[in-house]
Amino acid sequence: MRGFNVLLQKEFKEAWRSWKFLWIPLVFALLGMSDPLTNYYMMDILNAVGNVPEGFEMLMPELMPVDLLQASIGQFQTIGLLVMMATFVGVISKERASGMATLLYVRPISFGAYFMSKFIVMSTVSFVSIFAGFAASVYYTSILYGTLEIGSLLVSFCTYYIWLLFVIAVTLMMSASFKTIIATTCAFTVIFVGQIVDMIVGLFWTISPWKLANYGTLLVRGTMEMSDYWWSLTITIALTILCICIGIIMMKRNAAMAKI
Amino acid sequence: MGIYHSIYKYIRIDCVLYSGEKAVMTTILQVTGLTKQFAEHKAVDDVHFILEEKTSTALIGPNGAGKTTTLSMLTGLLKPTAGSVKMLNGDLRTNIGFLPQYPQFYPWLSALEFTEMAARLNGVTAKNAKLEAQKTLEFVGLGNAQHKKIATFSGGMKQRLGISQAIVHKPKLLLLDEPVSALDPVGRREVLDLLKGLQQETTILYSTHILNDAEEMTDQLLFLQNGKLVEQGTLREVRQRFDEQNYVVEFSNEQEAKLFASSSEQVIGCYVYIEIVNEEPTMKELLQRLSGCPYTIRKVERQTASLEEIFMKVAKKA
């Protein structure tokens, strides 16, 4: 892991100076607060927008705090992931294509150190982002609907974070393996098509990384079958490590693609 | 007096050329049978050469000759299909500095931050890295701009920064890919002067297709064409092999030139061209002949072909 500290500092500096530590958490905070607020003020919003026929009545379901947490996680799973993956998918391939990586690759650094420095910084940005998202969601939920039990909330947060680490590992692996366009296509296919497949035919299996986000809310509800949870968690962590290993190998193998 | 002054000037240049060659040389890099094949195309084909310590070597060739591919293999970026690159006194990756043709930097870093990072990645301790980076930036003339973001730098400044990141860790071997080809004449001159300063400190291998640069700061020439090393040697050796040299004697008129010239010597206008074959006639012989000459001699010159002319001959031969 030669050069790890220096590369880590460089990556943190980049994330800080490109405002990633500000705008990505802001996006997640907005996503987190949108469901509790829109659901609570739905009637007011509809009245304010107008065009509601006279005598119109709408039966609003009685939402529990955990329903709103689930809705917020649903937002993170679509727009949140889209933003995060689009931001991070070029971190290796673009540096290689522009030639910025050349001046690093010719130095006696380890590719493992370079890959891990990127992974750690992306994980930190993701941590801050989902923390902001969860905090905003829980804050408005507890004000408007009622409180959530802190222990299960923390477990749900950690479970979602582990899913995000898997997403980051897949994104980085693709970035290390292919040019940006192909990497984007492949990463989005794996994550989003995986989600769609799991949504459509996922009833036939209970162990999968793509189920982890949903399992987080089931934990809060207290309806989780724990063996499925632990197996899914273990497989997700194992796949994350595998993606990291493949990513490092591909980064080294594709170093020759760096523009001179 | 004027004639002798002219003649002695050329004799003196020759002596400097001879004595300028270093007596004891230590080989620093050995390249053996270096080959790179891309599908059907052989970009570099069985290239052999050695680099001596603290010498400057120009890798010359037209576009597509294989210069950048060769440098890529030397830096370790590209794996050779066959052959080897051996640094004789240590590990190659820790002892090289590399400047690509179009160096790209992180625009959000300052020049000092980037150079410091480069130093630390090459093993300079955190304590010394900043100091070394500052010294190097001063050396390349970026002392006043060290805290500026690289995004604000001009092309010339980026090239200087490129040199600074390549030399900050004091590498034994400096590899430069077309270091001045993207610069305007002023920037080119500045960078060339910088590189000349570095010649005393380290071994330099640089690729170029601007032959004037090679002529200016080169101990050894490597001519690449279609991936093959078609000619190599010191500038003097290559000149001797490919150069048609002449003494040119200028008389006050054509008639005197014709009267002076022997049947084998060419006369064009008031100039007599005396061909030098295997260093014959020597300057001494010519001086003796000229001292007995009753005509007005305006100028005597030893005419050598430019590197560009030699390059064209090498290319033609290959």
* Pairwise CA distance, residues A159 & A224, whole Å: 13
ipTM for the complex shown: 0.88
- How large is the average pLDDT for residues A248-254? 95
Tell me which of B117, B127, B172, B181 to substitute to probe the interface with A (most A C-beta atoms closer than 10 Å).
Answer: B117
Shortest CA gap B213–chain A (Å):
21
Reported as a single tens digit per residue, the pLDDT across B222-279 is 999 899 999 888 877 887 777 667 788 999 898 999 999 888 888 888 988 888 777 7
CA nearest to A252 within chain B: B77
Structure token digits, residue A52: 């509601």
Cα-Cα-Cα-Cα dihedral sign, residues B118, B119, B123, B125: negative
With 80 as the cut, is the pLDDT of residue B22 above it?
A: no
A257 in reach of chain B (CB within 8 A): no
Q: Do A98 and B104 touch (CB under 8 A)?
A: yes
Q: Where are the alpha helices (DSSP H) in chain B?
A: 2-20, 67-75, 111-121, 126-139, 155-167, 185-198, 211-216, 235-242, 254-260, 283-291, 307-317
pTM listed for this prediction: 0.83
pLDDT bucket at B14, cuts 50 / 70 / 90: very low
Strands B27-38 and B41-52: antiparallel
Task: Name chain B contacts of A14, Cβ cutoff 8 Å.
Answer: 106, 108
pLDDT of residue A190: 96
CB proximity under 8 Å: B 167-206 to A: 177
Q: Choose among B78, B79, B108: nearest Cβ to A14.
A: B108
Structure token digits, residue B67: 């210069």
pLDDT bucket at B290, cuts 50 / 70 / 90: confident
Q: Where are the alpha helices (DSSP H) in B45-201?
A: 67-75, 111-121, 126-139, 155-167, 185-198
Among A150-154, A230-234, B207-211, the least confident range: B207-211
Which of B253, B267, B258, B245 lies closest to B297 in space, CA to CA?
Answer: B253
pLDDT of residue A87: 96
Reported as a single tens digit per residue, the pLDDT across A59-87 is 888 889 999 999 999 999 999 999 999 99
Shortest CA gap B91–chain A (Å):
10
pLDDT of residue B11: 35
CB pairs under 8 A between A and B: 72
Q: Is B264 helix (H, G, I), strand (E, B) or coil?
A: coil
Looking at the DSSP bridge assignments, the partners of residue B149 are B110
CB proximity under 8 Å: A 76-105 to B: 98-100, 102-105
Phi, psi at B50, each rounded to 5°: -125, 155
Q: Tokens 């004000």 appear where?
A: A143
- How large is the average pLDDT for residues B296-302? 87
With 50 as the cut, is the pLDDT of residue B18 above it?
A: no
pLDDT of residue A171: 97
Q: Tokens 């590719």 appear where?
A: A111
* Pairwise CA distance, residues A109 & A92, whole Å: 15
pLDDT of residue A108: 93
With 80 as the cut, is the pLDDT of residue A187 above it?
A: yes
Reported as a single tens digit per residue, the pLDDT across B51-103 is 999 899 999 988 889 999 999 999 999 999 999 999 988 888 889 999 998 89
- Higher pLDDT pick, A130 / A201: A130
pLDDT of residue A44: 85
Q: Choose among B71, B78, B122: nearest Cβ to A107.
A: B122
* Pairwise CA distance, residues B162 & B136, whole Å: 11
Q: What value does the CA radius of gyration of chain B take, rounded to a whole number of Å?
A: 24
Phi, psi at B84, each rounded to 5°: -145, 155
Q: Choose among A10, A258, A260: nearest Cβ to B117.
A: A10
Average pLDDT of every residue of chain A: 93
With 60 as the cut, is the pLDDT of residue A180 above it?
A: yes
With 90 as the cut, is the pLDDT of residue B146 above it?
A: yes
Q: Do B117 and A256 touch (CB under 8 A)?
A: no
B72 in reach of chain A (CB within 8 A): yes
Q: Where are the alpha helices (DSSP H) in chain A?
A: 4-17, 20-40, 42-49, 65-75, 81-88, 93-98, 102-105, 111-144, 150-177, 180-188, 194-201, 212-221, 226-253
With 50 as the cut, is the pLDDT of residue A163 above it?
A: yes
The CA-atom distances, in angstroms, between B291 and each of B4, B72, B247, B283 are: 10, 57, 15, 12
Ordered by start, the domain boundaries in chain A are 4-255
